[in-house]
Chain A
Amino acid sequence: MSETLMLSYGAAIREALDDGLNRYPDMLLIGEGVPDPKTIFATTQGLREKYGAERVLDMPLAENGMTGICIGAALAGMRPVLVHQRIDFALLAMDQLVNNAAKWHYMFDGKQSVPLVVRVIIGRGWGQGPQHSQSLQAMFAQVPGLKVVMPTTAGDAYHFLLDAIADDGPVLFVEHRWLHHVIGEVDKQRPAAGLRGAAVLRAGRDISIAAFSHMSIEALKAATVLAEHGIEAEVIDMRCLTPLDVDSVAGSAAKTGLLLVADCAPEMASLGHVLISRLYQRQPNTLKQAPCLVAYPNHPVPTTHFQANHYYPGAERIAEAALELLAQRPLMDTLHRQLQSDLAKDQPDRSFVGPF
């Protein structure tokens, strides 16, 4: 019997943690604020009450030390899930993550492994500024031995988190804060994807849009409006950064001949470059036009909303870039008008009134 739930992405994460704690007696859930009244944007709500303070716990403000401690616990048979409310805080744990967690299995000849999950939240908005809104996922994805996933849909959030908990190696689970409120289907019976592969979110024949995390949502918005003008965009969600599923994108690009990559990271730190490069190396003649990468600028986001409002590319920019590739520039103004939102770009939705 398939059991499909409609859940927000945040609730799907909570559901996965709940099922994980239930399924794996060795799972630990730890992080700054995990049991506090706000429960990491409600993603850990009720879990301490259900599974006890020995398994669901807060921690000292010691990101590096606690990562090492979780690595040790993982080596001793536990399955820790460590949470950082912002990816920026995970930088303090770089040494343990990169030098120990990611290398252990390799370095000790495959005899031991580190079944550790690290949840990190990226995002934007409400003056988060240079040190609280970075999108550093590519930096982590560059580390051999560390799996990095960034699911976009609630269904993937649920399954990837459970798969990550089941995985015997270290996994970085990247959530975009603006996805937390997006509702989607969660079919618990769906077969495990095994933390691999991109997903086609929308089929189309005219142009391929490969997007990462929250940009997939923006790409879907753009695709909906493009379709009103007879342009069918294929939207591929690049939900796993390691390994990057070049095959799916190659197949789509072979069909459409046009590739647009949309990432929620600075251009310099976009895995889109890797995707484009691999695709080109594999099939240089597939594309009718040079591919296009829509990403953030290569400077930190200023706190001031006056400027931040112009920092983040969204659905309009994706649609514009698509029209460029399709040589359909006359449609730009119309599409721009259709996609323009009166919502400030530091607000994920109308109910949000800050601060995070």
Chain B
Amino acid sequence: MNSLNSAELLDLYQRMLRIRRIEEAIAERYAEQQMRCPTHLCIGEEAIAVGVCAHLTDSDKVFSNHRGHGHYLAKGGSLVGLIAELYGFAEGCCGGRGGSMHLSDLSAGFIASTPIVGGTVPVAAGYAWGEQRRNSKNVVVIFFGDGCFEEGVLHETMNFAVLKQLPLVMVCENNQYSVMTPLYERQPARDIYPIAAAHGLQAVSGDGNKVEQVYALAENAIAAARNGAGPQFLELHTHRWPEHCGPNEDDELGYRFPGELLAWKQRCPLLHTGRTLAEAGVAAEALLDIEQRIGAEIAEAFARALAGQPPELADMERHLYV
């Protein structure tokens, strides 16, 4: 896309690759049984988190769901904080108390992810309402899936968000599956975004595996929300490669159409962007260099996280009441 020069695209590539390699590192170590929490990886879906969060300032806010690692990292959440959290250490971003499904890094503007589907959607809108009432220029982004779009609370939230013209950007990551249930068992054959449009949001759809497309759509949406044009909705098509929850692939279970996963792998966001970069004359060494730096960062982050301490038993009861 012409709004991005190759240095900018390289930067997005690097952010996507970082998320990919971190997720792979988690998957690899999960079998050691020291990360004892359900973990929903976002391999294959990295372009959405990166393309959207690229437009956010430090004081903009992000909310997420059970599949939150990518959103957390793209918003600048602490990597050591994430890994320590998976291991259940006190140094984790929630003191070990939350695990993979509950992440928070307030210093990065990543407010919260929680695993009850739809649970954070109205909360994000409420946060946007607060930002609006304080006349800040901040926007709030909420990430959720196509399954979440079926929850009543999402539609209740859209109604209120439009009523109040909230600075809210709703990002629907349409990966066609809710756990292992395909979209056609859950929704009639129609697009999702026109329903948001019917609620009164400005809504568009696009290819969630092309980071430059996500970037361009998000640029418009975030600018519009920031400038008082009301809530925005992006439906972005993508695919999750690993199993719904856990470190492995599960294509042998047969819930996808034969060849579906392979076709999506050929549409890998990294492959696509790597190709565009090569065409733009970015040398292979530059990508290799990025790869090495990320590898070193991850190795160090795991080492630091693993040096963590188990939380105090006496702390189990803490923070129940304010």
Contacts and interface: CB of A to CB of B under 8 A. Distances in A.
A306 B37 contact: no
A346 B34 CA distance: 12
A60 B94 CA distance: 31
Interface residues of B, number: 50
B305 to A, nearest CB: 13
A311 interface: yes
Interface in A232-286: none
Given A60-B186, A126-B37, A310-B316, A32 B89 contact: no
A38 to B, nearest CB: 7
Interface residue range, chain A: 35 or more
A64 B118 CA distance: 12
Given A306-B96, A310-B313, A60 B37 contact: no
B102 A307 contact: no
B148 interface: yes
A355 B38 contact: yes
A58 B148 CA distance: 15
A290 to B, nearest CB: 24
A8 to B, nearest CB: 22
Given A307-B313, A353-B33, A354-B36, A60 B99 contact: no
B254 interface: yes
B311 A307 contact: yes
A80 to B, nearest CB: 17
Contacts of A353: 31, 33
A33 B181 contact: yes
Nearest to B250: A37
Interface stretch (B109-117, B265-273, B291-299): B109-117
B246 interface: yes
B37 A61 contact: no
Contacts of B7: none
Interface in B1-43: 31, 33, 36-39
Nearest to B145: A61
Contact of A33 (B89, B99, B150, B179): B179
A63 B186 CA distance: 12
Contacts of B246: 354-355
Interface string B245-271: 110001001110000000000000000
Nearest to A62: B150
B187 A60 contact: yes
Interface string B206-233: 0000000000000000000000000000
Given A33-B180, A299-B316, A58 B185 contact: yes
A38 B179 CA distance: 10
Contacts of B148: 61
Contact of A129 (B99, B150, B315): B99
Q: Chain A at the B interface: mostly helix, strand, loop or mixed?
A: loop
Q: Chain B at the A interface: mostly helix, strand, loop or mixed?
A: loop
A219 B310 CA distance: 30
Interface string B152-163: 110000000000
A302 interface: yes
Interface string A315-356: 000000000000000000000000000001010000001111
Nearest to B178: A61
Contacts, number: 139
A36 B117 CA distance: 18
A21 B163 CA distance: 47
Interface in A36-54: 36-38
A32 B150 CA distance: 12
Given A65-B152, A302-B316, A37 B186 contact: no
A303 B96 contact: yes
Given A128-B38, A132-B115, A354-B36, A36 B179 contact: yes
Contacts of A62: 150-152
Nearest to B183: A60
B180 A37 contact: yes
B88 interface: yes
A58 B186 contact: yes
A290 B220 CA distance: 68
Contacts of A130: 97-98, 102
A297 B147 contact: no
A127 interface: yes
Interface in B271-322: 310-311, 313, 315-317, 320
A295 to B, nearest CB: 15
Q: Which of A61, A88, A129, A130 gathers most chain B CB within 10 Å?
A: A61
A289 interface: no
A356 B92 CA distance: 22
B101 interface: yes
A60 B155 CA distance: 14
Contact of B98 (A58, A303, A346): A303
Given A36-B180, A89-B116, A127 B316 contact: no
Interface string A152-184: 000000000000000000000000000000000
A59 interface: yes
Given A58-B185, A61-B151, A62-B151, A303 B97 contact: yes
A38 B147 CA distance: 18
A22 interface: no
Contacts of A355: 37-39, 245-246
A131 B101 contact: yes
A63 B151 CA distance: 8
Contacts of B253: 37-38
Contacts of A4: none
B99 A36 contact: no
Contacts of B31: 353
A132 B115 CA distance: 8
Contacts of B97: 129-130, 302-304, 307
Nearest to B40: A355
Given A91-B116, A303-B37, A355-B39, 10 more contacts: A64-B152, A92-B151, A126-B37, A299-B320, A303-B88, A303-B97, A307-B311, A307-B316, A353-B31, A356-B245
